Amino acid sequence: MRKSGMLALLLLCMLILGACSLNSDAASLYKQESPLQVKMNVPEDLSVNEEVVFEVSLSQNGAPVDSADFVHFEVQKQDGSIRFPMEEAENTENGVYQMQFEFESEGLYYFEVHAGNKGSVVSPQQQFIVGKLSDSELESLKQGSKPEQGSSGHHH
Amino acid sequence: MEKNTEKTSAAKAPKKSVNGRFYKTVWRWHLYAGIIFAPLLVLLAITGSIYLFKAEIEEVLYKDYYQVSPQDERAAVTEQLDEVKRLYPDAVATKYRPGESETRSSEVTISSNGESLTVFMDPYTGKSIGELNNDDRIMDKIEEIHGELMAGTLGDRIVELAACWAIVLMVTGFFLWFPKKKTGIAGTLIPRLRKGKKILRRDLHVVPAFWVTGGLLFLVLTGLPWSGLWGANFQAITTNTGEGYPPSVWIGDAPTSNIQTQDIAEVPWAAETLDVPLSAIQGQIPLSLDKVVEVAEQEGIYPSYSIFIPQEPEGVYTLSVFPPKAQDEATIHIDQYSGAVLADYRYENYGVIGKIVAWGITLHKGSQFGLANQLISLFICLSVVFVAISGIYLWWKRKPQNGIGAPAAPALFNTKAFLFLMIGLGILFPLVGLSILAVWLIDWLLIQRIPSVKKWLNA
């Protein structure tokens, strides 16, 4: 009785100590969000005075978002000298939104998308280059610099 | 032995021999567990008493770091971070705390050379007010003693063991307290002050112990979810059922930022002399902390929140706040690049058990109901100290010269009821089970084989 009892206790303790780990799908048992997913397509090797089309694909819960609440594009140069203020992007098919741009000067730029749909709001920002980088821009990149403040962050 | 049982109704063994054996076994375990764990329980009660007043104590200690005079404009968070980077070039910023009021400084937590520092910033001027090494914070030390005796994982397990054995002490103590005859409230609910020293000594342990049992049981049960072994398993089980904390609030990983590695802009390192391919620089860049603060304001979160800064490319910004009241808790994960809210867990989103545990924790910390909560908890802690000391004193006075004074042991588990009670407690609290096994092994391998030890322990 005594020894078998102790053995049973030992086994149970081991079982309990080793048994519990978190299920990978535990999050599905609690409140879940439907975050907007944005894929930003900026053509590579941009040059000055060339018409280019910037595209973003929006999806939510795995399906393309055809009629988002809002999709606005905003572009500015790193030093703040050139600004394309926030503007509504053209809605094409399959959750793809686009806008045409033309850049007059070479350098480092930032492209920001402001999009919202069904309660999820996103504002991803993409860094891109037109032509070549100036030395000062390269230097500021090395310092880990971010775009000049003052872009219109608030949006609803 | 006769001398030690004393002539009190509660300590007198009942006449039936099976019951008597059972009573002695319970007494023996209560005595040994008490002698071993009383010092630890006193330590936990004292550190706990101090920690109850953490907020008030730190408010006084760090007054100069906390208070700033408000101005019209606040400096951008990025500006504050740049200033910290300038002051501590080799450090990595891990956390930002905006400050819960206009007169409160903001805090940047950095890790530098393996040390964790808090840099207090004036959010209006963007300048540093001072730094604290988090290892030097006295309240953190107290917490470390209370939670792990400043001995890491081993210490955590010992504290957990003491907490679990406190339950065993309460269960066995309750059995010993339970009146065998209908004797009224004297000696059970109120101490007998004028019946001689021996009875007074007994009543000063037994009666307050009965009264403090409810409070101590509450503190132990609300403290256990914190513990490293029982707590971690308990949290995993409850989270898995959907009724606990949502994952990542207590245990479990945060979601990850939704991005392909090749879509992230690379930072050309200052040391690199080679030209960086332009295509690598072209890509998404992380959200600025200012934007994260904006998201926090839009989502509405208790103002004493902190932002955990992602350290990996796929990491997320985590807004986290565990304020005085459980209902104000929040854990929000934000995609590092898009700013999308990936998870937003509030108290309302906890499962039933999660809500109970959250309340248990704020009550345990004494913050849920403010001063009243702190004073009641303090009273329980001081009572625990009193009961532990009066228990040891009682044993010391009763103990014969040449032995430990435990009732003679029947074979360790020859009463089935006791065996099942201990197995039950051992399953509920595996550390208790393991320590019972250890006691049994020591008894079997050493005590029973060395005559002098056997005699001294009355085994």
B110 — alpha (psi -120 to 50), left (phi > 0) or beta? beta
Task: Provide the percentage of residues in chain A whose pLDDT is more than 90.
Answer: 61
User: Which residues of A are less than 8 Å from B84 in CB distance?
Assistant: none
What is the full DSSP assignment across chain A?
-HHHHHHHHHHHHHHHHHH----TTGGGGS-----EEEEEE--SSB-TT--EEEEEEEEETTEE-SS-SEEEEEEEETTSS-EEEEEEPEE-STTEEEEEE--SS-EEEEEEEEEEETTEEE--EEEEEES---HHHHHHHHTT--PPS-S-----
- Chain A: residue whose CA lies nearest to B86: A143
CA distance B232 to chain A (A): 8
Phi and psi at A133, nearest 5°, equal -85, 145
* Residue A15's pLDDT band (cuts 50, 70, 90): low
What does the domain layout of chain A look like in residue ranges?
34-142
CA distance A23 to chain B (A): 6
pLDDT at position A45: 86
Residue A57 has which token pair? Answer: 């694909």
User: Are the Cβ atoms of A2 and B341 closer than 8 angstroms?
Assistant: no
Helix (H) or strand (E) holding B343: strand B341-346
pLDDT digits (tens, 9 = 90+) for B63-118: 999 999 999 999 999 999 999 999 999 999 999 999 999 999 999 999 988 899 99
User: Which residues of A are less than 8 Å from B414 in CB distance?
Assistant: 2
Chain B touched by A3 (CB under 8 Å): no
| Residue B148 and residue B213 in one domain | yes
pLDDT at position B5: 39
Q: Which amino acid is at B287?
A: L
Q: How many domains does chain B divide into?
A: 2
List of chain B residues with pLDDT < 70: 1-18, 182-183, 268-278, 409-415
| Residue B379 and residue B334 in one domain | no
CA distance A51 to chain B (A): 18
Phi and psi at B53, nearest 5°, equal -105, 30
User: Are the Cβ atoms of B423 and A31 closer than 8 angstroms?
Assistant: no
Q: Which amino acid is at B190?
A: I
Portion 33-72 of A in contact with B at CB < 8 A: 33, 35-40, 42, 44-45
Chain B touched by A15 (CB under 8 Å): no
| Residue B314 and residue B438 in one domain | no
Residue A154: pLDDT over 60: no
Q: Which DSSP category does B263 fall into?
A: G
Chain B touched by A29 (CB under 8 Å): yes
Rounded to whole angstroms, the Cα distance separating B78 from B82 reads: 6
pLDDT at position A152: 39
CA angle centred on B168, ends B164 and B169, rounded to 5°: 110
Residue A153: pLDDT over 90: no
| Residue B256 and residue B378 in one domain | no
Residue B261 has which token pair? Answer: 């590695």
| Residue B321 and residue B381 in one domain | no
| Residue B253 and residue B216 in one domain | no
pLDDT at position A22: 85
User: Are the Cβ atoms of B268 and A138 closer than 8 angstroms?
Assistant: yes
Chain B touched by A17 (CB under 8 Å): yes
pLDDT at position A7: 65
pLDDT at position B15: 47
Question: In CATH, what number does A34-142 get?
Answer: 2.60.40.1930
| Residue B345 and residue B263 in one domain | yes
Domain enclosing residue B168, as ranges: 2-52+144-225+374-456
CA distance B330 to chain A (A): 13
Cβ neighbours around B303 below 10 Å, total:
14
For tokens 């879940």, the residue is A32
For tokens 């339970």, the residue is B178
Rounded to whole angstroms, the Cα distance separating A27 from A62 reads: 17
pLDDT digits (tens, 9 = 90+) for A87-138: 999 999 899 999 999 999 999 999 999 999 999 999 999 999 999 888 888 8
User: Are the Cβ atoms of B247 and A26 closer than 8 angstroms?
Assistant: yes
Chain B touched by A144 (CB under 8 Å): yes
| Residue B392 and residue B431 in one domain | yes
Rounded to whole angstroms, the Cα distance separating B21 from B17 reads: 6
User: Are the Cβ atoms of A38 and B338 closer than 8 angstroms?
Assistant: yes
User: Which residues of B are less than 8 Å from A146 in CB distance?
Assistant: 78, 285, 288
| Residue B157 and residue B39 in one domain | yes
User: Are the Cβ atoms of A12 and B339 closer than 8 angstroms?
Assistant: no
User: Are the Cβ atoms of A149 and B78 closer than 8 angstroms?
Assistant: yes
Helix (H) or strand (E) holding B350: none
Q: Which residues contact A101 (CB under 8 A, 6 or more apart)?
A: A51, A52, A53, A54, A75, A84
User: Are the Cβ atoms of A29 and B241 closer than 8 angstroms?
Assistant: yes
pLDDT at position A97: 97
pTM: 0.88
User: Which residues of A are less than 8 Å from B264 in CB distance?
Assistant: none
pLDDT at position A8: 66
pLDDT at position A9: 62
Rounded to whole angstroms, the Cα distance separating B202 from B208 reads: 10
Residue A73 has which token pair? Answer: 């594009």
The verdict on ipTM greater than 0.95 is no
B213 is a domain residue = yes
Q: Do B309 and B96 meet the contact criterion of CB atoms below 8 Å apart?
A: yes
B29 is a domain residue = yes
- Chain B: residue whose CA lies nearest to A44: B279
Rounded to whole angstroms, the Cα distance separating B313 from B450 reads: 62
| Residue B335 and residue B254 in one domain | yes
Portion 107-126 of A in contact with B at CB < 8 A: 110, 120-126
pLDDT at position A146: 61
pLDDT at position B418: 75
| Residue B37 and residue B152 in one domain | yes
